[in-house]
Chain A
Amino acid sequence: MFTQHAALKPAYDVVIIGAGGHGLAAAYYLARDHGVRNIAVLEKGYIGGGNTGRNTTIIRSNYLTPEGVKFYDESVRLWQDLSADFDLNLFYSTRGHFTLAHTDSAMRTMRWRAEVNKHFGVRSEAVDAAFVKQAIPMIDIDCGGHAPILGALYHEPGAIARHDAVAWGYGRGADRRGVEIHQQTEVTGIRVEHGRVVGVDTTRGAIAAPKVLCAVAGFTPRVLDMVGLSTPIYIHPLQAMVSEPVKAWLDPIIVSGSLHVYVSQTARGELVMGASLDPYELHQTRSTLDFVEGLSANMLDLFPFLGEVKVNRQWAGLSDMTPDFAPIMGVTPIEGFYLDAGWGTWGFKATPVCGKTMSHTVATGRNHPLIEGFSIDRFARYQLTGEKGAASVGH
């Protein structure tokens, strides 16, 4: 599927660190839309082996801030014809997405999000408990009396997709256009002279490059140390788990902020489930029993009949969190060094639009209009893009 390259060239026009969905999408659009083809994508592991292959594949645009809604809506639009674009089936499946509200204040946030969404043409509605029960007949609408569901934010375009295929599709498309993808090639240093990037050092030798894009999710702070850049990013693990396959019973995607649950059922019948971040900083993808116990207890509040269903696998990824739950993207104080980071627990759904906007930013040297609210200098201006209200679960 991918061309093997025996050696690195001494120089490239652009070096992209990280062959996950975001890095490969940027390479793909740089080659396809901007005519930049002399690109090396460097990956210390394997294609899509980081958070691209570890998320719970939910795609939605029902955010809270105008910046967020416009950005993610463009992403959903791109998602919808990506399979045709790649000639590769991403199993993109529009399911509808319910964000459950168990309290009056949560209902208020749902109405707020629905109104912001509708203002920007995104299909979201605040719905009542009866609507939820009709769409998901298996749900215990009272949650065993612990946390009765009062209503939800219903987001019709909510979807899931096969996450590995996204990296493969972008990777193959970039590869066919002459982009070199080098796996098992770790960046060990970034060369900066007089405030601008001149190249990178890797485990397979040095490369000269006037432009470097960093798209490494949970490893961002370690790469930023190489260029001496401080950011608000901090790293917590995020765990997920999947059940044994069962008969299809859950069509929509369900999120409950109060119960710290998000769940969808794959075409194979497995339930893919996630919860909130691990409670403290850690740079390890270990799994814990606490996580399975806590998430299962909350799942059983929503769906008591799952008591006999077994958990098949669990895993973790490293989330690069920001204080305002919005990403940090675009140009940096170092000329030629571009950042696509701070994607915390919400990066998969943004893969296409990140590729689009970052390729524009790298090609022109100026932030794409859609990412202006996500720039690194927003902290120095104390102008945060408060997206916490739209985080999938309360962190």
Chain B
Amino acid sequence: MKILVCPLNGPRPVSEFAYGGEVRIMPDPDTCSDADWTAYVFNRSGSPGHKYEWWCHIASGYWFVVLRDTLRDVVLKTLPADSVRAGLPPPDARSPSEPAP
């Protein structure tokens, strides 16, 4: 079974978690164009890559952020939810030792 390291609960089986989709920043609905709003509502980045995602540890109801390579299914990093507000670093910032996907 795949193991996910929860920032609160430590390593747990992935079946204890729910996937909440990619972290996406909402444009300001008062100022953005209709096209931008539509793109935000519907469009997704469908190609593989390093993506920040919302995950929830169901048993403890704890939401957090995972940086994952969606081509290889490798978790690169997990972060607490408030790191979104603080501003996430670019997802493709790889450490030099890490192999390219």
Listed in ascending order, the chain A residues whose CB lies under 8 Å from chain B are 220-222, 224-225, 230-235, 279-284, 286, 288-290, 320, 323, 379-380, 382
CB distance from B101 to the nearest CB of A (A): 10
Among A230, A233, A279, which residue has its beta carbon within 8 angstroms of that of B19?
A279
Which residues on B sit within 8 Å (CB–CB) of A233?
Answer: 44, 46
Contacts of A282 in B (CB 8 A): 70, 73
A290–B34 CA distance with the chains assembled, in angstroms? 42
Question: B45: which A residues are within 8 A, CB to CB?
Answer: 221
Chain B interface, number of residues (Cβ within 8 angstroms): 24
Contact of A283 among B38, B39, B53, B71 (CB under 8 A): B71
Interface residues of B in 7-46 (CB under 8 A from A): 15, 18-19, 22, 34-35, 38-39, 41-46
Residue B59, interface by CB 8 Å: no
User: Whole-angstrom distance from the CB of A55 to the nearest CB of chain B?
Assistant: 20
B100 within 8 A of A: no
**Smallest CB separation, B98 vs chain A (Å):** 18
Asked if A323 meets B73 with Cβ closer than 8 Å, knowing A221-B47, A289-B1, A290-B15, the reply is no
Report the minimal beta-carbon distance from B10 to chain A, rounded to whole angstroms: 20
> Does B48 sit within 8 A of A, measured CB to CB?
yes
Contact (Cβ within 8 A) A224 B46: yes
Say yes or no for B85: interface residue by CB 8 A criterion.
no
B46 touches A380 (CB 8 A): no
Contact of B71 among A234, A284, A323 (CB under 8 A): A284
Chain A residue at minimal CB-CB distance from B47 = A221
State whether A231 and B71 are in contact (beta carbons under 8 Å apart), knowing that A279-B18, A290-B1 are contacts in the complex: no
**Contacting pair B46 A284 (CB below 8 A):** no
- A284-B19 in contact given A232-B42, A320-B46 (Cβ < 8 Å): no
- Contact A380 to B18, CB < 8 A, known contacts A282-B73, A284-B73, A286-B73: no
